[in-house]
Amino acid sequence: MKPEIALISPIHATGMVELNEQYIVHRVWEAPDPKAFLASIADRIEVAVTSGLRGAKAWEMDALPRLKLLASFGVGYDGIDIAAAKQRGIIVTNTPDVLNECVADTTWTLILSTVRRTVFNDRYVRAGRWLSGPAPLSDKVWGENIGIVGLGRIGRAIARRATGFGMQIGYHGRSEQKDVPYRYFADAAELARWAKILVVACPGGKGTEKIIDERVLQALGSDSYLINISRGSTIDEPALIRALQAGTIAGAGLDVFVDEPRVPEALCQLDNVVLQPHVGSGTHATRAAMAKLVTDNVAAWFAGRPLLSPV
């Protein structure tokens, strides 16, 4: 008899195949009345799977009183009520490390395409504007100062690539990290003032809400760029739009937004912005590795083995 699990939101296809093979999967997101659906399976569910963005609310945990493990797809868990899980003795797992390199590649795609105006230039060629004259010149990336807000697993992978571009690397976090040769800034605005390119790579959630605000954008300045691959919540989005429209900063490359998948029309209208639909980890290989870590955590729990990546 296969064990039963609740699937709060779908995950990558390879993970779905594995879950369906190993377990009886109750597909919560398809239920017209999720509350009633959870109540109908509550006596059998000790394991639930969700995604970092969809997360899990306290009421969903209450609806599954026997829940012991919440395995989440994604490294960020700001969508999960961690305090509520802790209170109820529910262990949460996420998918760290396996996505670092691809998220760093995405960050660099945004850095280069924003500063070197790759997307603008692509539009320039397609519209036949080249026939009337050369495209405007751009700023450069090589040799500039790069500031990273959140020098964690992903931030470090971004920094490693920056050394290949001959850049000076600075970072901001709640504390200085003694094992890196990069310059520490205790204040995000001071880092912004120093940086030509400011990359946000910290987690989302209450602690980092609008960490990039008007003050930081002013400090960044009219010849510098903002790149965000963290969460939309880390940036004061209306302030960013105003800064881009007024030329307070030179441009922005954004993978994440406050109200995904809805992106403010004002951003879509701007030429000095490159937009991506939250694809930081979005390669076949990385999404499969993330899915495997989810299913390995679930398998470990049912086998009584230690979990691979508890939060």
Binding site for ligand NAP (CB under 6 A): 75-76, 96, 99, 103, 150-155, 172-175, 201-204, 207-208, 211, 229-231, 255-256, 278, 280-281
Amino acid 49 reads V
At 178, list the tokens: 């003694």
**Which one of 54, 117, 156, 231 is the catalytic residue?**
231
The token pair at 62 is 């209450």
> Do you find a cis peptide bond into 261, omega within 30 degrees of 0?
yes
| 160 is an active site residue | no
Report, in Å, the least distance between residue 129 CB and ligand NAP: 32
- Reply yes or no on whether 117 is catalytic: no
**Residue of this chain nearest to ligand NAP (CB atom):** 152
Rounded to a whole number of angstroms, the minimum distance from the CB of residue 74 to ligand NAP is: 7
Tokens 């209306």, located at residue: 238
Exactly one of 278, 284, 287, 305 is catalytic; name it. Answer: 278
In the residue annotation, 172 being an active-site residue is answered as no
Is 24 in contact with 298 (CB distance < 8 Å)?
no
Shortest spacing between CB 260 and ligand NAP, in angstroms: 10
Closest approach, Cβ 293 to ligand NAP, in A, equals 13
Residue 76 vs 251, nearer CB to ligand NAP: 76
Q: Which of 30, 260, 284, 305 is catalytic?
A: 260
| Sign, CA torsion 140/269/120/134 | negative
Closest CB to ligand NAP among 41 and 76?
A: 76
Beta carbon nearer to ligand NAP, 185 or 301: 185
Comparison of 157 and 298: residue with beta carbon closer to ligand NAP: 157
Catalytic sites, residue numbers: 231, 260, 278
